[in-house]
Chain A
Amino acid sequence: MRVILESKVRKKPTIPIEAESIIPRNFLKGTDLMVYEGNKERTLSELFWIFVEGTAVSPENIEVVLKGDASRIKRVGEYMDTGSILITGDIGMHCGNFMSGGTIEILGNADAWLGREMRGGMILCRGNAGHYCATGYRGEKKGMQGGKVEVLGNAGDFCAEYLAGGEVHVHGSTGDFPGVEMRGGRLTIGRDATRPCANMKDGTCVVLGNVHEMIPTFEKIDRRVLPEWKIIADVYKGDVANRGKGTLMVKIPGAA
């Protein structure tokens, strides 16, 4: 079954919408769902043109397609456990919060907190991701714990903060402090990164481009070939300031 939601033109297009009800499982019983626009509760049909194609008996066979301007729609795919969501443009904050299964594909850019506190499943963002991509919540000890987030463009600051498990792969560059407070999982950065892995406790990070402003409290322990990436990389342990046992590998410029 395919559910197509096309956002309607709104009188106040900048008021954020919170739409944690948009997950495949919920459409099994129809499209009679509620969302919030600012502090007002709305029915899904007040804000979207809804088209349903085909039927489904189980949620894993449901695909939700979000069309039109979704850049102000938050929490799409929150607690999603199965099925798939396709977003044809940009998506608002907190897409895929607490996701545990299924897939989300974003053809445009994702706003901040993409895949926050994710436990499983897969998010593919073909554009850029905002700040705090694949991270956690304020005050919480663990960020993302499982699943995979892949960003084909760049990611903003604090990418994979508190990463505790799962895999984050940013093909482009990240902003400041990727992998800060990391305690597990794997972070791969295709291009450049600034101050990677500050204060990390554990986990593994690979930077295939340049590192700007290396944190001074990492201990260089090795230089080795990484066959997976066909590069030679310097291997660091750290963050020493934090009694960390994490691994940071940085490609040696020029070496292929």
Chain B
Amino acid sequence: MTELLVKNACVIDPIQGINGEIMDIAIRDGRIVESVSDRAEVIDAQRCLTLPGGIDSHTHVCGTKVNFGRYMSPEDMRAGRTQRRGRMHVTSGYYVPTTFGNSYRYSAMGYTTLLEGAMAPLEARHTHEEFTATPHQDMLANTLFDGNWAVMDAVREKNIKKTAAIVGWTLNAIKGYAIKLTNPGGTEAWGWGEDLTSIHDQVPHFEVTPAEIITAMIQANELLKLPHSVHLHCNNLGKPGNYQTTLDTFELVPDLNPDRQTLYATHVQFHAYGGRTWRNICSKAEEITRSVNSKPQIVMDMGQIMFCRTMTMTADGPMEFNLHCLHHNKWSNHDVELETGSGIIPVTYSKKSAVNCIMWAIGLELALLTKSPWQCLLETDNPNGAPFVKYPEVIGLLMSKRYRDEECATLHPDTEGNTSLCALEREMDWHDIAVMTRAGQAKALGIINQGKGHLGTGAEADIAIYPIRTDSVDPAREYRKVVEGFQKTRYTIKRGRVVSQDGEIIVDGANATFWANAKIPEDIRVDNDPEFIRRFQEFYTVRMSNYPVQEIYLPRGRRVDTEAFT
């Protein structure tokens, strides 16, 4: 039995309705309890800001694509090297750090749970190997279904049950957590070097549209009673005028779940562009947020970009190729048979570029114009918009109008006319930030009852104590203190153990991986369906028996069972 008592913590726990109370947190064997014995180890939080461990609900840190980003970037690897030190292994890389690098840096920022944004089922084993090698965060994997042949066939047949059965079998087989659709239908078209331009275009050969795929997958998701909703990267990412596609997509979404959203729309900044070309691109954040403000069934995340050199990586193959033709830098592409695609290119977001400045402003506008912080979560689509180490700066910008104004003054002159950021007075408070960086994520991912995102009795003791005194820091003025404060916790506690202190990693750690297991009725299970099996064996290049990820790949797996079809 190990016990820990965190005293004098200034706690903000939105899920528990706690906002800035000074209190003690008792921990026994990794969970939060009512009280501990007087033998417990004591940490004095000294009235510093204490939050549930941070949760990133959309980041790219593990798997084939991320590792290929590293593989092709020795120039980035040398940008962030640290030596082996105590319990810390060697790290390399700035925007695509090694697994240790990612984990340590997230840990130093108080993050304890991460959702990998895109995992191709065929290559899931790779993602799980890296999950296991990630010491300090619990992991979940979005599973790509955007170009899944079996799914598209079932959608064409308008067979929702079968769609659900395919999804359920796949998630179980490859130990995925949630449904991810990246440019639905578009990644299959990219198999021929083509793309789709609206949600009503037909996918070549399969005769289904993105709208049909999205609608069917939402229904299948709810039929399976999956903890998370469908997680969508809309069509037409990064194209001027794409906001209309995004609005059209939002209109498809019914409100089907009382506990959480029905659609999670990710990195919406990249989907909120007006104009027709790169020359007259402008912000449509107002239109997007108007739609979201009227639809509680939708949660989005920002997809904030920051000015720096970074790497874009997404399953959206055609988008990456278009971007490559603009930038003429290196380009990798990796299409996955019967499932999805992916692309990677390095980019530099520069204040000299009007387009980049407008993008930067749109991300902030989305957050500031969304009334409920529970509906617009903070992330950069790491590393696409910026590496996650930039989150503290994003927090600073959201909390301080002055910081925004100072930044705006250094931007390309076309920014102001094409966005409304400068006119926005809103300054977020500590509670808003707590929602946007952990509580909102826990609710959106459906992991509150797994003990994530809050500090109630029975919750997992994942806690971040920041060197910030909310009673003495005025974030609107002293935004630099805010940025610094969020860069390094005093303590990051993972399942009751201090894993990082003042940015130093002090234990090796051992994480857990959450995956969803939906119980599917025997009569519709696809692994009993001879036609499904026949097509699998004929068109995949691995045997169906070698496809599932064995439990040995999840040494600390946490299965989340759902009562599907009930």
- Encode A128-144 as 1/0 by CB contact (under 8 A) with B: 00000000011111000
A residues in contact with B72, CB < 8 Å: 139
Contacts of A139 in B (CB 8 A): 72-76
Q: Which residues of A contact B73 (CB under 8 A)?
A: 139
In the complex, what residue of chain A is closest to B328 when comparing beta carbons? A243
List CB contacts (< 8 Å) of B307-341 with chain A. Answer: 329
Q: Is the CB of B329 within 8 A of A137?
A: no
A-chain residues with CB within 8 Å of residue B78 when the two chains form the complex? 137
Identity of the chain B residue whose Cβ is nearest the Cβ of A138 in the assembled complex: B74
The A contact surface, by secondary structure, is loop
State the interface size on chain A (CB cutoff 8 A).
5
> What is the bound-complex CA distance between A141 and B347, given in angstroms?
12
CB neighbours of A140 from chain B (8 A): 75
Closest partner residue, chain B, to A136 (CB atom): B75
**Contact code string B71-101 (vs A, CB < 8 Å = 1, else 0):** 0111110100000000000000000000000
Cα distance A140–B72 in the bound complex, in angstroms: 10
When distances are taken between beta carbons in the complex, the residues of chain A under 8 Å from B76 are 139
What residues of B have a CB within 8 angstroms of the CB of A137 in the complex? 74-75, 78
User: A138 vs B74: C-alpha distance in the bound complex, in angstroms?
Assistant: 6
Q: Which of A139, A140, A141 has the most CB of B within 10 A?
A: A139
Taking CB atoms, residues of chain B closer than 8 Å to A138 are 74-75
Per-residue A-contact encoding for B31-73, CB less than 8 Å = 1, 0 else: 0000000000000000000000000000000000000000011
- Tell me the bound Cα distance from A140 to B75 in angstroms: 5
Q: How far is the CB of B310 from chain A (nearest CB, A)?
A: 15
B75 partner residues in chain A, CB cutoff 8 A: 137-141
Closest residue of chain A to B77, judged by CB? A139
**Closest CB in chain B relative to A88 CB, distance in Å:** 31
A141 to B328, CA, bound (A): 11
A244 to chain B, nearest CB (A): 12
Are A141 and B329 in touch, CB under 8 angstroms? yes
- With both chains docked as a complex, state the minimum distance between the C-beta of A255 and any C-beta of chain B, in angstroms: 38
Docked CA distance A151–B110 (Å): 53
Complex: how many Å from CA A78 to CA B73?
22
CA–CA, A138 and B72, complex, Å: 10
Q: Which residues of A contact B329 (CB under 8 A)?
A: 141
A49 → chain B closest CB, angstroms:
30
Q: What is the CB-to-nearest-CB distance from B328 to chain A, in angstroms, rounded to a whole number? A: 9
13 chain-A/chain-B pairs, Cβ below 8 angstroms: A137-B74, A137-B75, A137-B78, A138-B74, A138-B75, A139-B72, A139-B73, A139-B74, A139-B75, A139-B76, A140-B75, A141-B75, A141-B329
A137-B78, A139-B75, A139-B76 given; name 10 further pairs at CB < 8 Å. Answer: A137-B74, A137-B75, A138-B74, A138-B75, A139-B72, A139-B73, A139-B74, A140-B75, A141-B75, A141-B329
Q: Which 8 A-B pairs have the closest CB atoms?
A: A139-B75, A139-B74, A140-B75, A138-B74, A139-B73, A137-B75, A141-B329, A139-B72
